[in-house]
Structure 1
Amino acid sequence: MADETRALRVVVAGAAGRMGTTTVQALALDPDFEIVCAVDRAHAGESLRAVAGPKAPDIPIREKFGVSVDETKPDVLIDFTTHASAVEHAASALRRGVAPVIGATGLTQHDIAELKLLSEETGVPGIYVPNFAIGAVLMMRFAEMAARWLPDVEILEMHHDRKLDAPSGTAILTADLIAESRKCVPTPPVTQNLKVEGARGGVYKDIPIHSVRLPGLVAHQAVLFGGKGELLTIRHDSLDRSSFMEGVKIALRNVRKLQGFVVGLDKILFKS
């Protein structure tokens, strides 16, 4: 267990990516954190300061995760790599006593189950966070509440055109929460003439999800609940990546206090 009186030692994986550099810049300005290691295979050997900006520590970006962690001894991991790399890094971190915070998207139920099992075996906690924005976490909580009374619902999620997966992890988690909360599954609307295949979106747990990918977008989601004579829309918009940074810091500060491997920042924000 790390000394609570000193700065939290952090390894940033995917440090040269868009979320990675934003995270490096945010942590570098906060005395509660010390970036001791940066991993990014595409930029290995380069200076983190040269890649992420003048406030970043002047340390080399490394290629291999496990060896780098062994040498730099971080307390926590923040990972914004790809799905496959993030799962590999999280497992490696858990085996080394480093608590992982996974922000990479696309983890499957199988991935999560495996990480939960490994967390139990090692006694090291961790968290997978589909969305670090505080407003997005509140949106999901409000949608969970609304589903008890308005079971007819569809989800519209919109992201930038470089996002690799669809639907988003936020949409999947929102649908999971709604499915657990609503008291009944409504009869789906009758579509007599589906002129374009997929026009009604993909269906997950009896909830239609519509994914939009366009340049100019960052991360946006609207949850639409229909009732007799009314429509309730719960919407969140991330206008730039700075919206995620407070959630990243909250996750890093609290991940080692968790029990096991959990999913969602709400497990920290709403912990009683």
Structure 2
Amino acid sequence: MNQINIVVAGASGKMGSEALRMIEKEEYLNLVGCVDLKHTGKKVSEIEGLPNLDALFYHDINQCLEAVDADVLIDLTSPKVGYQHTKAALLNGVRPVVGTTGFTAEQLEELTKLAKEKQVGGIIAPNFAMGAVLMMQFSRMAAKFFPDVEIIEKHHDQKVDAPSGTAIKTAELIQETRQAKQQGHPDEEELIKGARGADFDGMKIHSVRLPGLVAHQEVTFAGPGENLTIKHDSFHRESFMSGIRFAVEQVVDLSELIYGLEHLMLD
């Protein structure tokens, strides 16, 4: 495989640092720069706990993309910053691989149009764990036969968005095959507001935030006399790296923006 030059945004964070370790292990992946609010002007190798790589840290995405020859941007930041980074990458002809969740429908539409205009491929994925992608697809299949369903997602207590992007994407996929219905008793009353969770097309989504968790989701379906639970657990952030590596390999051949890793895994 030809060498792929990569910029990582959010490189000093927990997911970003894991991505740096993944890049270090692969001979065909070459880190050319990092974008982060910390460590501007320093080499990755100068930061304690990060791999022995010579790429520099930059404070600003545009400054970084002007200074280095990048093929792919891996963005693992926040929704607001991730949107700005993705847009900057597309404008500079760099292919974004984005693991940041929380983009609005309007932002996704704008980025999709920009990618098409620039003929630059990109991937935005709510979850890069391949097992989680399969969990979402299996849930989509099951919903055709089990319209009564609830989603429980659990993440660490530093996650700022709720529900998670994975839970929202799961609900959207379920909606494609599920016969719409309002679940629960018609006279159901919440004695404490929010007790029944968020409502999405009549199904409920529950978010749990606790220290020590990484990323966990279970989708529970029920029918007369039976129950089906589809569950996925990420116990370490390393679980997302195989999907990110796969996306980097695939994105260099794309000329459009794709939302969801399943479009590449299951085609």
Contiguous gaps of at least 5 residues in structure 2: none
Structure 2 match to 1:86: 82
**What does the per-residue CA deviation read over 1:185-216, in whole Å, with 9 as the maximum and x for residues that have no partner?**
13421154422111000112322100000001
How many Å separate the matches in 1 of 2:55 and 2:182? 57
Amino acid in the other structure paired with 2:181: P
Distance in 2 (CA, whole Å) between partners of 1:171 and 1:233 is 15
Looking at structure 2, the residues matched to 34 and 132 of structure 1 have their Cα atoms a distance apart, in angstroms, of 20
Q: Deviation per CA, 1:92-127: give whole Å up to 9, x if none.
A: 111111110111121111111010010111010111
C-alpha contact 2:183 2:203 (8 A) present in aligned 1? no
User: Which of 242, 246, 254 is the matching residue for 1:246?
Assistant: 242
Instruction: Find the counterpart in structure 2 of residue 186 from structure 1.
Output: 181
Which amino acid in structure 1 is aligned with residue 140 of structure 2? E
What is the rounded CA distance, in whole Å, between the counterparts of 1:221 and 1:100 in structure 2? 26
**Are residue 198 (structure 1) and residue 194 (structure 2) matched?**
yes
Asked if 1:166 is matched to 2:148, the reply is no
Q: CA RMSD in A?
A: 1.3
Pairing of 1:150-165 with structure 2 (within 5 A)? 150-165=146-161
| TM-score, length-scaled by structure 2 | 0.96
**Distance in 1 of aligned mates of 2:258 and 2:236:** 26
Question: Could you tell me how far apart the structure 1 residues matched to 2:43 and 2:78 are?
Answer: 21
Matched, 1:63 2:59: yes
C-alpha separation between the residues in 2 aligned to 1:257 and 1:180? Answer: 28
Match of 2:219 among 219, 223, 227: 223
Q: Aligned to 1:134, which of 106, 127, 130?
A: 130
| Contact 2:10–2:75 under 8 Å retained in 1 | yes
SS in 1 for 2:252: helix
For 1:166 and 1:26, how far apart are their aligned partners in 2?
28
CA distance in 1, matches of 2:190, 2:227: 24
For residue 203 of structure 1, give the secondary structure of its aligned residue in structure 2: strand
Report the count of equivalent residues: 266
String of CA shifts for 1:47-77, please: whole Å, max 9, x gaps: 3123364633123211111121122111011
Give the letter for the 1:226 counterpart.
A
Aligned partner of 2:107 in structure 1 is 111
Offset from partner CA, 1:157-199 (integer Å, 9 cap, x none): 00000001000000000000000112x1134211544221110
Contact 1:251–1:265, Cα closer than 8 Å, also in 2: yes
* Whole-angstrom distance in 1 between the partners of 2:243 and 2:163: 21
Partners of 2:17 and 2:50 within 8 A in 1: no
Query: Does the CA contact (< 8 Å) of 1:24 and 1:56 recur in 2?
Result: no
Q: Structure 1: which amino acid aligns with 2:66?
A: D
Query: Helix, strand or coil for the counterpart of 1:223?
Result: strand
Distance (Å, rounded) in 1 between the aligned partners of 2:48 and 2:140 = 38
Letter of the 1:265 partner, please give it.
L
- The answer on whether the counterparts of 1:80 and 1:103 sit within 8 Å (CA) in structure 2 is yes
Q: Tell me the amino acid that sits aligned with residue 141 of structure 2.
A: M
Of 205, 209, 212, which aligns to 1:209?
Answer: 205
TM-score normalised to structure 1 length: 0.94
Distance verdict in 2 for CA 1:193–1:68, change over 3 Å: closer
8 Å CA contact 2:126–2:260 kept in 1: the answer is yes
- Secondary structure, aligned partner of 1:42: coil
5+ residue gaps, structure 1: none
**Aligned to 2:73, what secondary structure does the other structure show?**
strand
Q: For residues 232-253 of structure 1, what are the alpha-carbon distances to aligned partners after superposition, in whole Å with 9 as ceiling and x for unaligned?
A: 0000000000100100100011
CA contact (8 A) 1:128 1:263 kept: yes
CA contact (8 A) 2:115 2:256 kept: yes
Identity, % of aligned positions: 43
Question: Are the aligned partners of 1:94 and 1:122 in contact in 2 as well (CA < 8 Å)?
Answer: yes
Whole-angstrom distance in 1 between the partners of 2:48 and 2:142:
41
